[in-house]
Homo-oligomer: A and B are copies of this chain.
Amino acid sequence: MNEVKLSTLDDAVGYWLRRAQLAVFEDFARRFVALELTPAQFSTLIAIRDNPGRRQSDIAAALGIRRPNFVALLDELERRRLAERTPSGADRRANALRLTGAGEALLARALAAQHEQESAIRAHIGEAERDTLVATLRRLVEF
């Protein structure tokens, strides 16, 4: 196949943002396949560990996940005995979320895998560039 030109896309932030995100997420998927964790499940485990006892709605909202879509995700984490829905004391409508011992153990392994990915990125694009990248991306989110 002869080369196909894509002149206008070659300097577009949106285009490279999408391609870079796909590349990093594919690498993430490779590293996490053994742990059987999707990005959404991984960030959910982090959010629960950092905020034990919080309501489903709060955790879901913080992660940008709609409440209805969070139900099946939690069902699966509970089925695998990684997280639990426990009674929320005062409000009997709410579920308080907590990690199990197995959940904390798996999260520890996942955090190690994530750390390896961050190190690989640092090695590939450079330490300073990585810090600049994260800083710029954070400003872009407010955009």
Residues of chain B lying within 8 A (CB to CB) of residue A14: 21, 24-25, 28, 39, 114, 117
Q: Which of A1-60 contact B (CB under 8 A)?
A: 1-2, 4-9, 11-21, 23-25, 27-28, 39, 43, 46-47, 50-51, 54, 57-59
A61 within 8 A of B: yes
For A18, A39, A63, A111, the residue with the greatest tally of chain B CB atoms inside 10 Å of its CB is A18
Complex alpha-carbon distance, A55 and B23, angstroms: 26
Chain A interfacial residues counted at CB < 8 A: 59
Chain A residues proximal to chain B, CB less than 8 Å = 1-2, 4-9, 11-21, 23-25, 27-28, 39, 43, 46-47, 50-51, 54, 57-59, 61-64, 111, 114, 117-118, 120-121, 124-125, 129-130, 132-134, 136-143
